Structure 1
């Protein structure tokens, strides 16, 4: 079976999307598939040495390419306009690549990552023409309020119409949450819930707790990983960290994935700099190399995912949660769906009330005061994570769905 993943994704590392697709591909390859990924985004530079260390990237049954890297744009145009032209050219080039693969019989199934009507509609019509089954992986559901100017933003309509593409001709939808599954459960096609996943066979036991902190005394080290965007709930996290410090705890907050110099994280970084307490205990490290990502997670005392209870998060799932559980470190997260359906508060993690800094503060204090609790929750979380978030619990069923769709 030749599966072609198609969509916009920063590949092969950094983004949660890239991680999800690498892990899914690993499972499909283990089931007997060949996987080719086509992204309209610019590829990240990856050395041959790094590829050789990755079981997916080094597999002879996995290949990837970018249509973005095949065009030069128009260098005489202003930067933003040139970037837009390059993106449009990338989409058109991706259509050509997909048509060639289908025409040559080198595509048995299309797996759409993302649901941009502009990017995916033409490929969907090609698949219908060549009678090739296609699936959509739906991981988000954005209301108009997520877009600047709301319904007057063309990108809102691109997103809205894209979500309408799974119709009677679609072979199935892979939904990251039960809410999204419910939206597509119309009886036309199968819908499988696949939450955020990870490879729990990775051995992190060798990662020792080590400190890179400039704070010389022993610290209670907490780590957040993300883009510090709306919906992440980081404002409640900062409030809780400040209060815990006031309580006399030598706490330190490390933020990776956000550099504090641009985007939403800039505002939070400035907030911390202007705060007499936070300015000395919060560190924005930005993006870190993939090879030290897990060792960094394992080097702290607590991992935190303070998601807000908002319309966007009702349909999304904290993609970092399985990664965090893999480490065996205790995790603090919020009770935004579908988290309580998978893990139990005070057993597998601290699952606290969303939009509530006091709840985060209480969880941090309990973990600081009780090292044995930290250890027990971390170990129980790792065991539970392997039971419910390991990719092996999902990819064989997905592969079975694919085989059924191809045989029709």
Structure 2
């Protein structure tokens, strides 16, 4: 089948977009991605995972203004026009849209093209927008395009109209059932790693010294819980527990976290901020690490999704310390792959770290996590569900169309 996939940012790169495109292509399907074009990249480009069709830059506008005009607002006509253009050109058989911002445009285009539409809901978008407002970080434009009430209203109207919805955890599926989506139109396709990205050998636990090294990989934003980690590390230092933290990533609150480290007198001998690193370079740091951190706040946005980093840590044989956000807590406890602490509680974080000081405990947790990755939590399993969901949706849609419009003898 010919798939019109939609991603609301520049491409490359996004790990989930690449995995989805590659898997659908390997299953024999033709994948065309419509993406944003703030970087003024080529309008069309063939990549190993599929064909990319970017928005055309408007050269008559200043570059910054052109970028604003590409904003993936729900009803941006610029996106709708490009979707229709590419959809007709490739004779699309299904539309696959990532997350809520462009779901209304995708739905409108799919109905006009006469094909089914599938939403890949990697994030609980309304909850994520509420987090922005609760943190007081909204800008003037957010009152229009990231208004929590408007976003929730769009979701409630859009979700029931989708032919199928893909979610990353069961908790997300349970949430959208309450919004009117039938369970038979929901498939869990998680954020698990490609088998090619699972290292052949786990980290060598024997590298360990008397200093416990921890790593955080991801966005540096307040709901990610970095302040809790830094405050907890200060407590551990004061107790005489030797720890070190590698913090990899960037984000809007990076300055705040540097200030928190300074306030706690955590120098470069205890905390290292790497900034943004290429994905493979970030993963390479795992080999000199003892524990992976998932300190996200247990708010709704984090409690209805699952971070890639959880599975990345486990695939390297690293024990995990996570907050009590339900999906991560459930997985870590079921597998026995680490420790759980109360969200936003530095004291409980310090307790969780101390529970993994013993090398034999870390080794047991790391081995359990890696076994779970190779057996269950890997992209081969999720890719099978993804492909089956799309193929079934297209078959069902074609069957419904043929019953509605029977062929004349």
Tell me which interval the TM-score lies in, with the shorter structure as reference length. 0.7 to 0.9
Selected match of 2:48 from 47, 54, 58: 58
SS at match of 1:283: strand
Where do 1:210-359 residues align within 5 Å? Answer: 219-258=211-250, 263-278=252-267, 280-344=269-333, 347-359=336-348
1:19 aligns with 2:5: no
Q: Secondary structure, in 3 states, of the residue corresponding to 1:343?
A: helix
| Alignment partner of 1:130 is 2:113 | yes
Check whether the contact 2:319–2:365 (CA below 8 A) recurs between aligned residues.
yes
**1:36 matches 2:32:** yes
Within the candidate set 55, 61, 66, 1:74 is matched to 61
Query: Aligned with 2:158: secondary structure?
Result: coil
Contact 1:136-1:166 at 8 Å conserved across structures: no
Following superposition, the deviation at residue 199 of structure 1 comes to 1.4
| Equivalent residue, structure 2, for 1:213 | none
- Per the alignment, residue 93 of structure 2 pairs with 108
Q: Give the conservation status (yes or no) of the 8 Å contact 1:347–1:381.
A: yes
Structure 2 CA distance, aligned partners of 1:389 and 1:404? 23
Does the CA-based 8 Å contact 1:166-1:173 persist in structure 2?
no
Query: Could you tell me how far 1:289 is from its partner in structure 2?
Result: 1.7
Instruction: Identify if the C-alpha distance between structure 1 residues 180 and 204 changes in structure 2 by more than 3 Å, giving closer, same or farther.
Output: closer
> Is it true that 1:172 corresponds to 2:160 in the alignment?
no
Per the alignment, residue 383 of structure 1 pairs with: 371
Deviations 1:114-161 (A, max 9, x none): 212xx4423321211221111111222434453338995542255334
Distance 2:336 2:249 in 1: 28
Q: What's 2:380 paired with?
A: 392
8 A contact 1:272–1:279 mirrored in 2: no
Aligned residues: 378
Which residue of structure 1 aligns with residue 80 of structure 2?
A: 95
Task: Give me the whole-angstrom Cα distance separating, in 2, the residues matched to 1:207 and 1:346.
Answer: 17
| 1:140 correspondence with 2:130 | no
Contact 1:231 1:312 in 2 (8 A): no
Instruction: Specify whether residues 288 and 168 from structure 1 end up closer, same or farther in structure 2 by C-alpha distance, changes over 3 A only.
Output: closer
C-alpha displacement at 1:10, in angstroms?
Answer: 4.4
State the superposition RMSD in angstroms: 3.3
**Post-superposition offset of 1:41:** 5.1
Change (3 A) 1:168 1:207: closer
- Secondary structure, in 3 states, of the residue corresponding to 1:3? strand
C-alpha distance 91-166 of structure 1, shift in aligned 2 (>3 A)? closer
Deviations 1:320-350 (A, max 9, x none): 2111111111111122111233232682222
- Structure 1: stretches of 5+ with no match in the other structure: 211-216
Aligned 8 A contact 1:141 1:316 in 2: no
> Conserved in 2, the CA contact under 8 Å of 1:9 and 1:39?
yes
* Separation of aligned partners in 1, 2:79 and 2:145: 21
Contact map agreement 2:168 2:188 (CA 8 A) in 1: yes
Aligned twin of 1:214: none
Q: Aligned with 1:394: secondary structure?
A: helix
Deviations 1:186-236 (A, max 9, x none): 3556111223221134352468669xxxxxx96422111122213212221
Distance in 2 between residues matched to 1:74 and 1:243, nearest whole Å: 53
Q: Is residue 5 from structure 1 mapped to residue 5 from structure 2 by the alignment?
A: yes
Any gaps of 5 or more consecutive residues in structure 2?
Answer: 398-409
List per-residue Cα deviations over 1:288-322 (Å, max 9, x = no partner).
12332321223211111112122322223223211
Change (3 A) 1:43 1:290: farther
- For normalisation by structure 1, the TM-score amounts to 0.81
Whole-angstrom CA distance in 2 between matches of 1:29 and 1:183? 30
Quickly say closer, same or farther: Cα 1:163–1:86, change in 2 above 3 A.
closer
> Which residue in 2 is equivalent to 1:191?
186
Please report how far the alpha carbon of residue 99 of structure 1 lies from its aligned counterpart in structure 2 after TM superposition: 1.1
Closer/same/farther in 2, CA of residues 104 and 228 from structure 1, 3 Å limit: closer
